[in-house]
Amino acid sequence: MQTPYYLIDKSRLLPNMEKIAHLREASGAKALLALKCFATWSVFDMMSDYMDGTTSSSLFEVKLGREKFPGETHAYSVAWAEHEIDEVLASSDKVIFNTAQQLQRFEEVSRDHVRGLRVNPGVSTSGFDLADPARPFSRLGEHSPETIEPVADLISGFMFHNNCENADFDRFDEMLTQIEARFGSLIRRMEWISLGGGIHFTGEGYPLDRLAERLKRFAGENEVQVYLEPGEAAITQSTTLEVSVLDTLYNGKNLAIVDSSIEAHMLDLLIYRESAKMQESGDKDWMICGKSCLAGDIFGEFKFDHDLKPGDRLSIQDAAGYTMVKKNWFNGVQMPAIAIRELDGSERLVRGFTYDDFAAALS
């Protein structure tokens, strides 16, 4: 296939799904795919065998989850608009409001729907202020039990989302204990609690059985159904971004320009100033550069066992999360196609993008 393209490998996706299935069975918790991280619905048929449904951040994600992923559809947004709430309710099983004011605003129209409220516990694991839901002056959820109490009878559940790439079970346990201490009396009045995403429980060496025991105990002591909303945990290590070297030069370092762009195809690398991941070997240092006109369009510096040349193929690793959902047409750079490697090793192209797609995105 012509590069660039995202390659989703089902044999690498499967171990994540099996860990999710084990956690569900051992803990009693349900798992919803967070579409804000990954929404490539061509593999939803496989993922739905191991997960309970989807959770969303917008009307369009709600509709995609309902249409493409069997199971429950949870609808959350930082703010619902009046013109979209009817469609949100028609496309979801549960609607979660970000504030008590939004809940009260749409109380009458949503009265026959299962409703929840986002709660901000004021603690998180984020190392980035940009992504920290508990940052000062955060707009993400109600943070005061006194504010929640007057509307508690209008809802049946809470959504807490305060983990971010958290691979530390002890830290998760500590924060959940803090949540119980502060909001326990309100939690015990609910029927279900979502603990959100950001728990890296499919990572190598994570104590999955300890997490299962803690979730089961939380559910039992509070008499609630627990939900998790894995995004990155569901698809970690499953996908590569396949690119080709277009040109090379030397300017104090060996530079290789590829037919892709971090701003257009792996935007989080730019936002969080992180390096891409690549399987390295050898002792030859090369900086891998994107082809856009942005000076800082750099995938990172990597070691190879040979000098790169035009035509060489490279695989950027762990390229599923927050990539396909954020890809854009900056500079008119060719948008990567999407391909799937089946469990039998065969590969198929599921979506390509053309100039017509570029033109249609404009006006």
- Can you say which residues are annotated as belonging to the binding site? 232, 268
> 13 phi and psi, to 5 degrees?
-75, -35
Amino acid identity for residue 98 in this structure: N
Q: Is 113 helix (H, G, I), strand (E, B) or coil?
A: coil
Binding residues for substrate: 232, 268
Q: What is the DSSP string of 43-99?
A: GHHHHTTT--EEE-SSHHHHHHHHHHS-SEEEEE-SS--TTTHHHHHHT-SEEEESS
Which residues contact residue 163 at a Cβ distance below 8 angstroms, ignoring those fewer than 6 apart?
124, 125, 172, 175, 195, 196, 197, 198, 199
CA 359 to chain centre: 28
Element (H, E) at 244: strand 239-250
For residue 286, the cross-strand partners are 302
Burial class (CB in 10 A: 0-12, 13-18, 19+), 147: middle
Q: Is 228 helix (H, G, I), strand (E, B) or coil?
A: strand
Amino acid identity for residue 360 in this structure: A
